[in-house]
A and B are shown apart, each in its own frame.
Chain A
Amino acid sequence: MLRTTVSNSSDSEVDLLDDRDYVQLIDAEGRRHANPTLDRWIADVSDDQLADLYEDMVVVRRIDVEATALQRQGELGLWPPLLGQEAAQIGSARALRDDDFIMPSYRENGVAYCRNVPLDDLVRVWRGHAHGSWDPTEYRMAIPAVIIGAQTLHAVGYGVGVRMDGADSAVITYFGDGATSQGDTNEAMIFAATYNAPVVFFCQNNHWAISEPVRLQAAKHISERAPGYGIPSIRVDGNDVLAVMAATRIALDRAHRGGGPTFIEAVTYRMGPHTTSDDPTRYRSAEELAEWKAKDPITRLEKYFEDKGIFTDELKARVKAKADSVAAEFRAGCKEMVEPETMSVFDFVQIEANPVLERQRAQYAAYLANFEGED
């Protein structure tokens, strides 16, 4: 039983949280459950569009598999897999308007894919070539924040700026269950409520912050905190792409109409390691993993399609072809990436001239010049 509410345009949204752990439209068996309140937010999503969401999820999972392989082959230093979180990322990202801005953490590769961030830019950071690799203005998506929760405050500031500009777009910020313990995330909710900022707090509760289970971060559902800050919240099945999309649309609608911030707890599961450097077998059981594999966001959609008789060979072939071509492009982009130039280590520290730094640059250049002509 949740005490949280959604004080949206319609009071009936409250109903959805009556006596269930989270709201859901497609369950793990692929069964579609009617939900009068949620349904109207995705009424326009046809089976064809659902197939597109399915394709997105398969593709970003394939990117994940490819990236993990590249890391194992020594092509990447590190990779943070999103395995298991495809529905949370695709469902929310595909709910966004083009002018909505994204403040991500470092695991939102699926979200970046939806924003058409070039594939090699998804991997540049993890190949050790840059700390950030795209222009946030161009893709309306900030570069990944590695400091846990820091980006939530940026979302509030950006959102306040949006409102001051007289614009009606929203900002969505992604973070995990671990981030909800950070001061910044809590300050962000306070600031967002104070200034009625058009921010969607999108928490992917994937149950694990490296080795720490969510119960170490939260004694109760994370979504229950937000109302204490004056922010309505929704707890949604994060492995249900349709429900995630509906919840995100509700939150975005509130933001677009000046209704202020909304908190979404997408209940999902990090099926892979924290990063490729992590070994989850040290801290979690095979039984738990199996339990969540049964709730796989992609498999359930396949069951749903099969039940409806629309999981055709044509669809399967189309999705496989897309995944194959993205994977090939991704792999090639990674391996063919040009190394940054040595002296670029000094670039972009500041905009205005810094004579102290320029002296270091010149002296290092002189040092390097010593080796010219040597093998």
Chain B
Amino acid sequence: MTTTTETTNATATATGTATLTLAKSITAGLRRSMQDDDKVILLGEDIGKLGGVFRVTDGLQAEFGTDRVVDTPLAESGIIGMSVGLAMRGYRPVAEIQFDGFIYPGFDQIVSQVAKLHYRSRGAVRMPITIRVPFGGGIGSVEHHSESPEAYFAHTAGLRVVSCSNPQDAYDMLREAIASDDPVMFFEPKRRYWSKGEVNFEPEETLPLSRARVVSPGSDVTLVAYGPLVATAKDAVAAAADDGVSIELIDLRSIAPIDFDTVAASVRKTGRLVITHEAAQSGGIGGEIAASITERSFNWLEAAPARVTGFDTPYPPAALEEHFLPDLDRILDAVDRVLGRPNSLSDWED
């Protein structure tokens, strides 16, 4: 396959394919969206000259100017509220929240304005806003820099909530998020920013943003993951295969709405369901998937669904995060549980 990379030419449209880190594929997606639509504007803290603390917007201000790549004062509610006004004026803002744990000052504007203005105005107002949030742990950071707040937003009507797990999806999903007339919370798996993959800049076909992807087919257990844990789940699939267990891995991609059709179709085949995410268990996405699949597909289930999640604790200090984060062995333990094999909870009684 011919590989051409023209991303070094600032004004040219990237064509063909290239091997990129996930972070750079987001950069490429932003660039392409800005080239395609001059109403696309980026706002955030340190996104201009610095290119963002993760360098995701590196070079974009030089290329598109300070009007379209806007460094903002340090006020998240201000960033989101300003995006609302820009959207009302016909712009398509892409707001960057520097870290997951910094989003809460902007929470009111997100849930009361961004999410609800279409409904509140009986359809007269559109909020084509994308809110990019680097999220999740595993990078040994200080507090408020490793959180997974996606469930708060998935619980809010009017928001689409998505997370990418690989460079191609990052590029495609971001472009669709920005092009969407609905507001999209775009959660970026920050510990996978540096993982590389091939990116086709002009894919003939992309999976719609609201659809889950079956990453690898299997017959014994359905494993659902999203964002940073898809890579971990892939390792679990490989390890289980060595053990003779066939796992069907689903990359959820869309956290709201959840593609239950894809998950249910898989569970009706395997009869067993494991869900994993970094966010705390109670009130989390895993519980919603377990409940909904149980409602829809109870008669196909061979075992109770299992969740492998962060604990109901604040995100711990870096020295303890390996215990908080779901890993290969904890996922395999849950796989054993749904298969009725010996596992860490074999003798557990409630």
Contact = CB atoms under 8 A, between A and B. Distances in A.
B77 A183 contact: yes
Given A135-B124, A137-B124, A158-B86, A153 B77 contact: yes
B264 to A, nearest CB: 11
Interface in B261-318: 261
A194 B73 contact: yes
A357 interface: yes
Contacts of A150: 81, 108-109, 112-113
Interface residues of A, number: 45
Contacts of B259: 355
Interface stretch (B51-59, B114-122, B194-202, B216-224): B114-122
B84 A351 contact: no
A132 B121 contact: yes
Contacts of A355: 210, 257, 259-261
Nearest to B158: A349
Interface in A326-368: 347-357
Interface stretch (A79-87, A185-193, A210-218): A185-193
Given A134-B124, A160-B86, A191 B72 contact: yes
Interface stretch (A29-37, A161-169, A230-238, A297-305): A161-169
Contacts of A187: 73, 75, 77-78, 81
Nearest to A353: B210
A92 to B, nearest CB: 19
A26 interface: no
A136 B125 contact: yes
Given A158-B85, A160-B82, A184-B109, A130 B77 contact: no
A156 B257 contact: no
B192 interface: no
B84 A352 contact: no
B120 A156 contact: no
B112 A350 contact: no
Interface stretch (B9-17, B87-95, B136-144, B334-342): B87-95
Contacts of B125: 136, 142-143
Contacts, number: 149
A240 B160 CA distance: 48
Given A187-B75, A351-B126, A153 B85 contact: yes
Given A131-B119, A131-B120, A132-B120, A350 B89 contact: no
Contacts of B87: 157
B109 A159 contact: no
A165 B81 contact: no
B123 interface: yes
A154 B67 contact: no
Contacts of B160: 350, 352
Contacts of B124: 132, 134-137, 143
A159 B73 CA distance: 16
Contacts of A152: 81
A134 B124 CA distance: 8
Contacts of A143: 120-121, 124-125
B327 interface: no
**Interface size class for chain B?**
35 or more
A160 B83 CA distance: 10
Contact of B122 (A133, A137, A183, A190): A133
B78 A153 contact: yes
B157 interface: yes
A160 B113 CA distance: 18
B210 A147 contact: no
Given A131-B119, A355-B260, A191 B112 contact: no
A155 interface: yes
Contacts of B121: 131-132, 135-136, 143, 348
B258 to A, nearest CB: 6
Most buried by B among A137, A162, A187: A187
A191 B109 CA distance: 15
Given A156-B82, A156-B85, A183-B105, A354 B257 contact: yes
B182 interface: yes
Interface in B240-262: 256-261
A357 B119 CA distance: 14
Given A136-B121, A150-B109, A153-B84, A165 B158 contact: no
B232 interface: no
A261 to B, nearest CB: 13
Contact of B118 (A147, A161, A350): A350
Contacts of A171: 85
CB-based closest 10 A-B pairs = A157-B85, A153-B81, A161-B89, A187-B78, A157-B82, A158-B85, A154-B85, A131-B120, A356-B257, A348-B123
14 contacts: A153-B82, A154-B84, A156-B82, A158-B88, A161-B89, A165-B89, A187-B78, A191-B82, A194-B73, A348-B121, A350-B182, A351-B180, A352-B182, A356-B260
Interface of B: 41, 67, 72-73, 75, 77-78, 80-91, 93, 105, 108-109, 112-113, 116, 118-126, 157-158, 160, 180-182, 210, 256-261
Interface of A: 103, 130-137, 142-143, 147, 150, 152-162, 164-165, 171, 183-184, 187-188, 190-191, 194, 347-357
